[in-house]
Amino acid sequence: MSAGDLEGRSLSGPQSLTGGGLQQQGSLDWVKLAGSSVNFTVDVLARMSAAGVEALTVCAAEAILSRLKLGRIGESRVQEAVLQLKAFSSMNNALWFGFGVKHVIKKLAESSEGLCCIAVCASLSEFYSTVDTARILRELFSQYNAPLNLTPALRQWTNLVEACEGALSATIFPVLIREITRLYLPDGSFGLKSRSEPAAIAKALNGLVQVSNGSLESVQFLGGADCGWIAAFAHWLLDLSVEIRDTTGETLYRPATINSSKRRDPQVVIIFGGSTTADLQLVGRIFVVPSGQSLVRGNESTQGDALSYGRVQWDCVIQDVFGAPFKAMLHGDLAILCGTALGCAARIFTSFVTDDEEIHSDKWSSIRLAWTYVNMGSHGRGFLNTVRQWLPELGQSQALMDSMEHNLSRTFEEAINEYQQAINELAASCSCFACQPSVPTHPQHQPFCQAILVETIGDLVQIASALDMKTKVLPTRCGVEGLYWKRLKDERTEECFDCVADGLLTGRNRDPLLGAEVLLSGRQIFTPSTGQSALTSSGLCFYLDTLVSISADLEQCNLVHVVPGRIEWNGNLYEDVHDFPIEPYSPLGPQYYAIPGQIETLASGPNAEDTISLDLTCDLVVQESIKRYRDKSVMAAYRMATSGGRIMVPPHRVAAKLPRSLSAPDCRGRQCAEGGSFEVFSVKGEGLMVNRGEYPPKVPILRVLRKSIPAQWIAITNSAIIPADFGEPEWYDCILQSTQCFHCLSKQVLRIRDMSETVTIVATL
């Protein structure tokens, strides 16, 4: 390609490069700006304060973005996106999730400068992390040579980004980013990279500003994946004609725009792959945006800065991300092997969800206790239904689907053996380094492993089965690939590696909230659960259903709601909600206690009346927290109160305890064998159990709490006997009767009693 082919045209005279960037077309009059006055109402100031954004930051952003001219269609797209933003409430409206009616973004949308601010912040954060977006804005601001006293701190730029990010998450914009960056990423091999330097991205953005306002007629960009965002921004928000080429000059993509019919030459040209400094010396209107570095596999400290690469449609998510290795698994023998592995995986999951007798061994017991995905769509036939609903691309292969369904009926041991055999055969035909040790560990274009793809599909199904989308938000390319990389371990090549215990079943204890965060936000840092019931990440808000409703239904309690926006309490914005740090059995504060009863023998179920407190009330209380790893955090818990006192029940604790408490057989009393009789110690009420010498050792404790789910929550989260001096409590297993008969329940009680000191039974039928 000649220099003449690359030359841009300016409507306001020639320009030259200084230090690798275009000279400014004039500069802002900072003296005049510093002396000007602004008119903010107290209500607007309150909104900005709630978001942590100072008035100076808003003025600074609007000043530098006043030169940006959104296209007519682009402006209407931003306005429509803001109008679609909603907020959803928690129990008794204590918390709000999303964008409320008084959110600062609603005020910004009332002016053209504010719309530009939303467009830039929200679009950048769909591709870059929140902090990287703030750094880019800071670099863009620095290009205008502002005095230090008018320069907002990085924390302020970050707060502004956080106030706007998520506004475009449910639009087609992130999907367009993915469509364009697909032209750059290699098919069928990993391509996660970090961003280019913020200064280079800011200079490129400034070039788009000049084209949008007519200072430049056209501009060209050379580089890597970052140029994908540039192309999407120019096309979707600025209404500019865009053309994407490879290094040979061949056109790869030219979307139709309102300007396409008016001009022959594109206003923005993207050249993927060209990034030499010599280009800068030849042509005056080319911006070079160097590619970021490839992320090191397993290095979580750098993966948090990975580019998101946009969002992927659910109906093609696996093929879009994993390419050729997955396509091969839809045909021939590989399709049957893949279906066998997935069907057996679904059957194995069922045993852990229902606590089958087959898993009562030292090898599996710890996995069962930590199991989190227990909803119907995460295992067995529900797993197959989730595949059909969320991953229809697997249905392209009838052989795969038939094989999956056939293997659902196997026993646990049969499923284990068939899964291992299918994975071994997939590994034998796979060309990745994990399956073929002779392949270099870190090649430039490393193919995806087909065996690990099976595990990753299992992750996708389980995460999707727990999602409740308040607004349609698609998974990020980075997030899907991140699930894969988390599963790729060096020890897979060792002879002692067990593809079920060490492969398929690892990570099944991951908090559903964090799994959804990784998939939908694209952030790669897998933070251990810290009692969070809600969090925000990259403009999205994730919150457990235990903050919204009180239920003993696993389908409800394990739902993760997702909506663009932030967490709001008392008009202020926060990053996460976590459980109260004070344990609910602490002697601090007024509390009430259960009444010890007597030993009785049960053979056909409890005959006692319901012993709940008739005046039990429940409401969600929230307090601000300042000593957390996140800057802005609140604590939440349910205050269960009676005339005798109150107990605090944290929402995350409920979500964590409930799956471990529900007993296994879903028999509904149909043709069940007689269970053995056994002695129990009855306890009246749902209050705390304090041992003052009444509780006999190794005798199961029975609570009859049929009519009150809040009472059941108290019993589940307080399955401990507390010493009279309120010392260290003795925790016991808790069984919550669900839909099974007492005969089946008694079998589990007797088994647990033989393995541990005692067990608490909460009878509900």
Residue 37 pLDDT level (bands cut at 50, 70, 90):
low
Is residue 704 scored above 80 in pLDDT?
yes
Residue 100 lies in a domain: no
Q: Which one has a higher pLDDT value, 530 or 113?
A: 113
Mean of per-residue pLDDT scores for the chain: 81
Residues 487 and 591 in one domain: no
SS3 761: strand
Is residue 754 scored above 90 in pLDDT?
no
**Nearest CA to 568 among 26, 15, 87?**
87
pLDDT of residue 280: 26
DSSP state letter for 411: -
Is residue 511 scored above 90 in pLDDT?
no
Is residue 193 scored above 80 in pLDDT?
no
Residue 231 lies in a domain: no
Dmax over Cα atoms in the chain, in whole Å? 96
Residues 525 and 595 in one domain: no
Residue 604 pLDDT level (bands cut at 50, 70, 90):
low
Residues 467 and 365 in one domain: yes
Residue 53 lies in a domain: no
SS3 731: strand
For residues 743 and 716, is the Cβ–Cβ distance under 8 A? no
Compute the half-sphere exposure of residue 374: CA atoms within 13 Å on the CB side of its CA: 29
Side by side, the strands of the sheet bearing 720-723 are 689-691, 720-723, 730-731
Q: Which one has a higher pLDDT value, 182 or 541?
A: 541
Q: Which residues on neighbouring strands pair with residue 10, listed in sequence order?
A: 216
pLDDT of residue 14: 30
Q: How far apart are CA 394 and CA 725, in angstroms?
A: 59
pLDDT of residue 258: 55
| Residue position matching structure tokens 């942590």 | 52
Residue 267 lies in a domain: no
Residue 22 pLDDT level (bands cut at 50, 70, 90):
very low
pLDDT of residue 281: 27
Residue 3 pLDDT level (bands cut at 50, 70, 90):
very low
Q: Which residues on neighbouring strands pair with residue 760, listed in sequence order?
A: 701, 734
52: left (phi over 0), alpha (psi -120 to 50) or beta: left
Residues 592 and 461 in one domain: no
Q: Which residues on neighbouring strands pair with residue 268, listed in sequence order?
A: 219, 242
For residues 215 and 10, is the Cβ–Cβ distance under 8 A? yes
pLDDT of residue 566: 94
Residues 597 and 745 in one domain: yes
Residues 333 and 441 in one domain: yes
Residues 509 and 602 in one domain: no
Q: What is the mean pLDDT of residues 684-705?
A: 84
Burial of 145 (0-12, 13-18, 19+ CB in 10 A): exposed
Residue 288 lies in a domain: no
For residues 140 and 28, is the Cβ–Cβ distance under 8 A? no
Give the tens place of pLDDT for each residue, 350-402. Answer: 998 887 878 878 788 778 877 888 889 999 999 999 999 999 999 999 999 99
Task: Give the count of domains, the chain.
Answer: 2
Q: What is the mean pLDDT of residues 173-188?
A: 87
Residue 462 lies in a domain: yes
Residue 296 pLDDT level (bands cut at 50, 70, 90):
very low
Residues 329 and 438 in one domain: yes
Q: What is the mean pLDDT of residues 177-190?
A: 81
pLDDT of residue 755: 59
**Nearest CA to 195 among 226, 228, 221?**
226
Tell which of 529, 555, 577 closes a domain: 529
pLDDT of residue 331: 93
Letter string b/e over residues 321-356, b meaning 16 or more CB atoms within 10 A of that residue's CB? bbbebbbbbbeeebbbbbbbbbbbbbbbbbbbbbbb
Residues 600 and 460 in one domain: no
Residue 199 lies in a domain: no
| Residue position matching structure tokens 């003993």 | 552
For residues 545 and 468, is the Cβ–Cβ distance under 8 A? yes
Residue 753 lies in a domain: yes
Q: Which residues on neighbouring strands pair with residue 633, listed in sequence order?
A: 576, 625
pLDDT of residue 526: 46
pLDDT of residue 626: 72
| Helical axes 477-487 vs 512-521, angle rounded to 10° | 130
Residues 602 and 455 in one domain: no
pLDDT of residue 527: 56
pLDDT of residue 101: 82
The residue segments making up the domain with residue 714 are 586-612+658-763
pLDDT of residue 586: 67
SS3 754: helix
Q: What is the mean pLDDT of residues 317-323?
A: 93
For residues 538 and 444, is the Cβ–Cβ distance under 8 A? no
- Phi, psi of 84, rounded to the nearest 5 degrees: -80, -10
| Residue position matching structure tokens 């020890």 | 491
Which amino acid type is present at position 757?
E
Residues 602 and 699 in one domain: yes
pLDDT of residue 758: 66
For residues 459 and 483, is the Cβ–Cβ distance under 8 A? yes
Q: How far apart are CA 60 and CA 70, in angstroms?
A: 18
pLDDT of residue 90: 95
Give the tens place of pLDDT for each residue, 236-253. Answer: 999 999 999 888 888 888
Q: Round the CA-based radius of gyration of the chain to a whole number and report it.
A: 29
Q: How far apart are CA 95 and CA 621, in angstroms?
A: 9
Residues 332 and 416 in one domain: yes
Report the run of H or E that residue 45 belongs to, with start and end.
helix 42-50
Tell which of 507, 529, 551 closes a domain: 529
For residues 634 and 580, is the Cβ–Cβ distance under 8 A? no
